[in-house]
């Protein structure tokens, strides 16, 4: 068999030299028939079928090669073959799933997510809900930190009668965002999901809390007041309302709310402290002092001495003649070891009045002392025997039973009687309460986060040219051309002479034209209206944000973040495999991912340049070569290679003088580099000058060509 195979290989090569492709195809067909495991010959046969427009036959052969590579662990080669098959027949959706699985096995999680994302887009357009959810679940399990995917999955659950699953997913995302303090994203999620869960009080309370965090207390309080009508004794609601009233400086309502909570649980020191603070803030100093004196021993035992000190220091400034404040503060300073402050109090007491309060022990001060026990003699720092023998009197708790006044409920009683309350909330306008008699006592919240959210103006940040250029490059690499173009125009507004920025705008224009010219596969429209348009299928929650120019992006694309964490060397090798297969755009995309590794930056720019050169895109090829030459990591041999490649590029682009300059620069560094001497001689003769003349030309053009 080996002899026959060798003869057939020799025959096929001869036929190809004679450009007799049909005969070569017959030879390779016989070879793979003799040796089905010969993947190289089978791949060559597929390539020949492509050359003769026999795509079906090519697809079949490529499939066998891809399965062979995948089965033997050559995942990168298999990925490249499947990509070639995808070009031959884009309608084969199964290839997306296969590519995703292979990328996952290779550790290219970002690539896998991209393939799954394309698959979800297809399922969504065609109403294949179960397949869409299954794929989203795969994406979630592949990258649990990908919040955009998890939000999309939660939405798909909620839309398709799996609301419990959707709520669990949503709660998990909200918990993560709350930990990060990212309330802009949280507000957008409430806008998205409250229509699915209109009766869920937990979500409505969460919305109110998010509004508090954005300092929109009025609308937060309104939501909670309406919830309180259905749950008048809910302590969580009352806690949030008390906080909201305090932030709105509605002190009476705040104090009443906290007192209602204390009626439910008198031992809650957090609420007790909130009430005291509210009384101080509302200038009810005597009332605050009474509360503090009654509960100071409990606060002390609960390790809240610092808070006690803070409140008594405030009262000392407000109740300057009150001896009780001085007496307790005196003991607090003794406990905290703040001798200087203790002496200040003693001095003030000696200067203020004839009556001097004797120094108390900790137990006397904190647990209360009667007027008869106060010594009228001059203040002494030593305690008397009488003090040591005195008994401790514990102040009995006397709780004031206060009910919420009509201000909490009477205002809304007339509105809710005989009708149901529905809240229509627009985050960019005032909050309106709308009557709705159609539902049976159901409370609903409708959200509309608009574009004109009122925010206080923030001072304009200083411009960072390098950071802005890097961000523009990031947008270009990720295909976010509109964002990149806008950022470049913003850069030129404050740095009009930025050549690099102008070059990026040209690059964006070329890329946008290529995208517009790219063919699309038509699919049958789904009868199901998706939450996201096709253009939003990157699962990026930026689609939920306002379009205000000065507002920052809310979400970055999580897929792109995952790509950055992938094995960059695998991206580099995959790019090489794609380039060998003639998949130039795919190769360039992989090199752009791999270039984030500094040691591969120059190689990636060079290979991108060669790929653009293969596409006859001389302008972008030159740009890539020049970016490589500008790298601080450039080695001498790389400089020679790039200079020579630029010379070849200029020759192909009919820029003979520029080619000569490039070759002369290479020659000046290494006279024996490849055939550079012959190149210079040929171009010198073609241009009709001497070498000396062109040395002068070299000096004149050094300033124009950046790589010299």
Q: What is the pLDDT of residue 333?
A: 87
pLDDT of residue 477: 66
Task: Give 632's pLDDT tier (boundaries 50, 70, 90).
Answer: confident
Average pLDDT of the segment spanning 206-221: 91
- The sign of the CA dihedral 612, 618, 620, 623 is positive
Tell which residue, 185, 163, 164, 165, has the closest CA to residue 176. Answer: 185
Residue 117's closest CA among 98, 97, 102? 97
**Between 364 and 14, where is the model more confident?**
14
Q: What is the pLDDT of residue 540?
A: 40
- Per-residue model confidence (pLDDT) at position 482: 79
Among 544-548, 619-623, 664-668, 702-706, which stretch is predicted with the lowest mean pLDDT? 544-548
Residue 288 neighbours by CB under 8 Å, 6+ apart? 276, 279, 280, 311, 315
Could you report the per-residue pLDDT of 576-615, keeping only the tens digit for each?
Answer: 878 877 888 888 988 898 888 888 888 899 999 999 988 8
Q: Are strands 432-436 and 444-448 parallel, antiparallel or unpaired?
A: unpaired
Over the stretch 243-278, which tens digit does the pLDDT of each residue have? 999 999 999 999 999 999 999 999 999 999 999 999
Question: Minimum mean pLDDT among 124-138, 419-433, 476-490: which range?
Answer: 419-433
Q: If you search the block for the tokens 């001060």, which residue do you land on? A: 365
Q: Indicate the domain borders of the chain.
A: 2-107, 300-397, 410-448, 465-537, 562-701
Q: How far apart are CA 588 and CA 493, in angstroms?
A: 31
Q: Are 207 and 193 in contact (CB under 8 A)?
A: no
Express each pLDDT in 437-469 by its tens digit: 344 334 333 333 333 444 444 444 567 787 788
- Measured in degrees and rounded to the nearest 5, phi and psi for residue 433 equal -100, 125
Residue 446 backbone phi and psi in degrees, to 5: -110, 125
What is the mean pLDDT of the segment spanning 405-433? 38
Q: Are 562 and 110 in contact (CB under 8 A)?
A: yes
pLDDT at 474: 64
Residues β-bridged to residue 433: 423
Among residues 259, 262, 223, the alpha carbon closest in space to that of 240 is found at 223
- What is the model's pLDDT at position 550? 36
* Token pair belonging to 343: 């002496």
Number of neighbours of residue 608 by Cβ within 10 angstroms:
27
* Host H or E run for residue 423: strand 420-426
The set of long-range contacts for 434-439, using a CB threshold of 8 Å and a minimum separation of 24, is none
Q: Long-range contacts made by residues 534-541, C-beta under 8 angstroms, separation at least 24?
A: 534/121, 534/124, 534/125, 537/117, 537/120, 537/121, 537/124, 538/117, 538/148, 539/117, 539/146, 539/148, 539/149, 539/151, 539/152, 540/148, 541/147, 541/148, 541/151, 541/185, 541/188, 541/189
pLDDT for 359 beyond 60: no
CA angle (572, 578, 584) in 5-degree steps: 105
Interatomic CA distance for residues 246 and 258, integer angstroms? 10
Query: Residue 134 pLDDT > 90, yes or no?
Result: yes
Question: Helices marked H in 353-462 — which ranges?
Answer: 362-367, 385-389, 406-416
Residue 60 pLDDT > 70, yes or no? yes
Determine the pLDDT at residue 321.
Answer: 84
| Cβ–Cβ under 8 Å, residues 602 and 641 | no
Helix (H) or strand (E) holding 233: none
- How would CATH label the architecture of 465-537? Alpha Horseshoe (1.25)
User: Encoding tokens for residue 219?
Assistant: 């609308």
Q: Of 146-155, 523-532, 636-645, which one has max mean pLDDT?
A: 146-155
In the chain, % of residues over pLDDT 70: 71
Give the SS3 label for residue 446: strand
| HSE-CB of 167 using CA atoms within 13 angstroms | 14
Per-residue pLDDT band for 349 (boundaries 50, 70, 90) equals low
Separation CA 274–CA 259 (nearest Å): 10
Nearest to 476 by CA among 424, 514, 441, 442: 514
Closest CA to 624 of 640, 608, 637, 600: 608
Q: What is the pLDDT of residue 4?
A: 85
Question: Nearest 5 degrees, angle CA 475-CA 478-CA 483?
Answer: 30
Q: What is the CA radius of gyration of the chain?
A: 38
Average pLDDT, the chain: 76
Please report the pLDDT score of residue 286 as a whole number. Answer: 92
Contact 341, 310 (CB under 8 A): no
- Three-state secondary structure readout of 60-81: HHHHHHHHHHHHCCCHHHHHHH
Angle at 241 between CA 235 and CA 246, to 5 degrees: 130
Domain 2-107 indexed as CATH 1.25.40.10: yes
CATH no., domain 562-701: 1.25.40.10
Helix (H, G, I), strand (E, B) or coil at 426: strand
Helix, strand, or coil (residue 422): strand
- Evaluated on CA atoms 45, 46, 50, 52, the torsion sign reads positive
The residue-averaged pLDDT of 549-568 equals: 46
Sign for the pseudo-dihedral over CA of 27, 31, 33, 39: negative
Q: What are the CB-based long-range contacts (under 8 Å, 24+) for 200-209?
A: 200/167, 201/227, 201/230, 201/231, 201/443, 204/443, 204/445, 205/236, 205/237, 205/240, 206/174, 207/445, 207/447, 208/240, 208/244, 209/240
Which DSSP state fits 403?
A: P
Distance CA(514)–CA(502), nearest Å, equals 19
Neighbour-count burial for 298-336, b at 16+ CB within 10 Å, e otherwise = ebbeeebbebbbebbebbbeebeeebbbbbbbbbbbbee
């Amino acid at each position: 068999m080996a002899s026959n195979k060798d003869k057939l290989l020799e025959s096929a090569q001869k036929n190809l030299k004679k450009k007799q492709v049909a005969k070569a195809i017959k030879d390779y067909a016989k070879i793979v028939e003799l040796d089905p495991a010969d993947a190289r010959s089978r791949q060559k046969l597929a390539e020949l079928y492509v050359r003769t427009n026999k795509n079906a036959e090519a697809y079949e052969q490529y499939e066998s090669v891809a399965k062979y590579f995948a089965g033997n662990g050559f995942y990168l080669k298999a990925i490249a073959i499947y990509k070639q098959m995808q070009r031959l027949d884009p309608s084969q959706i199964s290839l997306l799933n296969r590519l995703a699985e292979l990328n996952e096995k290779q550790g290219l999680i970002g690539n896998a997510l991209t393939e799954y994302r394309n698959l979800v887009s297809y399922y969504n357009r065609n109403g294949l809900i179960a397949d869409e959810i299954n794929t989203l679940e795969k994406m979630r399990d592949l990258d649990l930190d990908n919040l955009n995917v998890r939000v999309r999955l939660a939405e798909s659950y909620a839309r398709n009668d799996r609301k419990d699953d959707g709520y669990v997913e949503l709660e998990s995302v909200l918990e993560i965002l709350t930990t990060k303090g990212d309330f802009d994203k949280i507000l957008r999620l409430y806008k998205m999901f409250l229509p699915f869960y209109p009766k869920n009080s937990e979500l409505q309370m969460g919305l109110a809390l998010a509004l508090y965090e954005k300092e929109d207390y009025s609308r937060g309080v309104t939501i909670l007041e309406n919830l309180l009508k259905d749950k008048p004794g809910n302590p969580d609601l009352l806690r949030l309302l008390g906080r909201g009233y305090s932030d709105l400086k509605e002190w009476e309502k705040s104090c009443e709310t906290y007192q209602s909570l204390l009626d439910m649980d008198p031992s809650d020191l957090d609420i007790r402290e909130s009430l005291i603070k509210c009384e101080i803030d509302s200038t009810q100093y005597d009332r605050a002092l009474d509360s503090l004196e009654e509960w100071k021993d409990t606060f002390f035992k609960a390790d809240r001495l610092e808070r006690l000190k803070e409140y008594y220091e405030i009262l000392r400034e407000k109740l300057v003649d009150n001896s009780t404040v001085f007496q307790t503060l005196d003991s607090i300073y003794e406990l905290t070891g703040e001798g200087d402050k203790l002496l200040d109090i003693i001095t003030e007491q000696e200067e203020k009045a004839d009556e001097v309060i004797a120094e108390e022990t900790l137990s006397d001060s904190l647990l209360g002392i009667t007027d008869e026990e106060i010594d009228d003699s001059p203040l002494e720092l030593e305690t008397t025997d009488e003090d040591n023998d005195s008994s401790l009197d514990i102040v009995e708790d006397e709780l004031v039973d206060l009910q919420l006044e009509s201000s909490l409920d009477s205002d809304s009683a007339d509105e809710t009687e005989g009708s149901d309350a529905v809240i229509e909330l627009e985050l960019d306008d005032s909050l309106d309460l709308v009557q709705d008699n159609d539902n049976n006592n159901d409370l609903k919240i409708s959200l509309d986060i608009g574009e004109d959210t009122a925010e206080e103006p923030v001072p304009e940040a200083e411009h960072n040219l390098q950071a802005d250029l890097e961000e523009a490059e990031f947008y270009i690499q990720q295909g976010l051309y509109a964002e990149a173009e806008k950022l470049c125009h913003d850069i030129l507004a404050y740095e009009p002479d930025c050549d690099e920025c102008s070059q990026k705008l040209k690059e964006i224009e070329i890329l946008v034209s290529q995208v517009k010219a790219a063919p699309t596969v038509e699919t049958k429209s789904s009868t199901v209206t998706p939450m996201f348009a096709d253009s939003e299928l990157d699962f990026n929650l930026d689609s939920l944000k306002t379009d205000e120019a000065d507002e920052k992006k809310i979400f970055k694309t999580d897929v792109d973040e995952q790509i950055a964490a992938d094995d960059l060397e695998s991206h580099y090798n995959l790019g090489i495999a794609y380039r060998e297969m003639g998949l130039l755009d795919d190769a360039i995309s992989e090199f752009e991912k791999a270039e984030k590794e500094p040691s591969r930056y120059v190689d990636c720019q060079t290979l991108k340049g060669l790929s653009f050169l293969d596409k006859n895109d001389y302008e972008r090829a030159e740009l890539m070569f020049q970016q490589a030459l500008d790298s601080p990591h450039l080695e001498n041999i790389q400089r020679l290679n790039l200079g020579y490649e630029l010379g070849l590029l200029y020759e192909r682009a009919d820029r003979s003088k520029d080619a000569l300059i490039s070759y002369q620069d290479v020659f000046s560094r290494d006279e024996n580099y490849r055939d550079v001497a012959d190149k210079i001689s040929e171009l010198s003769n073609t241009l009709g000058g001497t070498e000396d003349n062109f040395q002068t030309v070299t000096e004149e053009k050094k300033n124009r060509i950046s790589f010299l």
